[in-house]
Structure 1
Amino acid sequence: MATSKSVLFVCLGNICRSPIAEAVFRKQATDKGVANDWRIDSAATSTYEIGNPPDHRGLACMKRHAVPMRHVARQVTQDDFQSYDYMLCMDESNLSDLNKKASKVKNCKAKVELLGSYDPQKVLIIRDPYYGSDQDFETVYEQCVRCCNAFLEANS
């Protein structure tokens, strides 16, 4: 059966927050038996990290939580706006960049939103942990778990 829904998680470089969100969402969808209903990926608004693997601190955090994560950073493409149902980003800067790009795309199908808009604890922004500590990656993970779970519930 073909996938019926699609979500693209987006952050600045696609090595910290968005691959964590992608991995968390994929595991939640798998655990609920609905992974085959979804096309799931992540991407960057910038070109900084294209081709790079996820940040080692994010990988370590995912390993601690037994969440598989394999990803190579890529930039959001024009096609993404036409082929994904949802583009869920991490902060106002990502949101602004995506909305600018979306306005130039014909037949933009993607609903561009902050992933944090799904947080039951109402923490809207998922801060970039790149210049932070292991605890900052843990915080991103916890936010992604809450938000992705709520997003999945809302779209089941």
Structure 2
Amino acid sequence: MLDKTLAIDKVELDNLEKTVCIDDLLQPVVHLRCPKYKVSLFVREKIHDELMDFLGGKGINPKFVPGDINYRCDKLSAIAAVIYQNRYRDELYRKEQNNPVITAMKFMDKGRNDRIYCREIAFEEGKQVIICEIHSGKKNQENRKKEKNIIKKVAGYEFKIQS
């Protein structure tokens, strides 16, 4: 009986999404964190490289160089400043109406309407914001079927809280 329980626990742990903390990328704004409420920014390990390409402007930046994230890093820093202060600003970062634990970072720069969908996991001392999915080229203001499916997918991810 005990062996079966251990096997189930191992399977559940194997299905948990792994994350990477990206606070070190955001040094210019990390100091804006609330001292009494710890907020950290993570990315799903599986999309870390995709996020770096997104920040570098892959597909839209004519001078794209792999590994160079400066193309959109200022925008991410502005969004992170809002997140670190445990706030929401509709034009940068907001909760999704379809699911209150899902948030969207808005990259409406460079004539685009791109989104990064995140999952917020709150705990007693603060919260972790985990970048889960990147959606480039959103075509409309309202969430259509494609965006609703992404939000549903993000809500289904399970993570192990890192301290």
TM-score scaled to structure 1, two decimals? 0.25
- Look at both structures and tell me which one has the larger radius of gyration over its CA atoms: 2
When you count strand as a share of all residues, which structure comes out higher? 2
Q: Greater helix share, 1 or 2?
A: 1
- Greater length-normalized contact order (CA 8 Å, ≥ 6 residues apart): 1
- State TM-score, norm by structure 2: 0.24
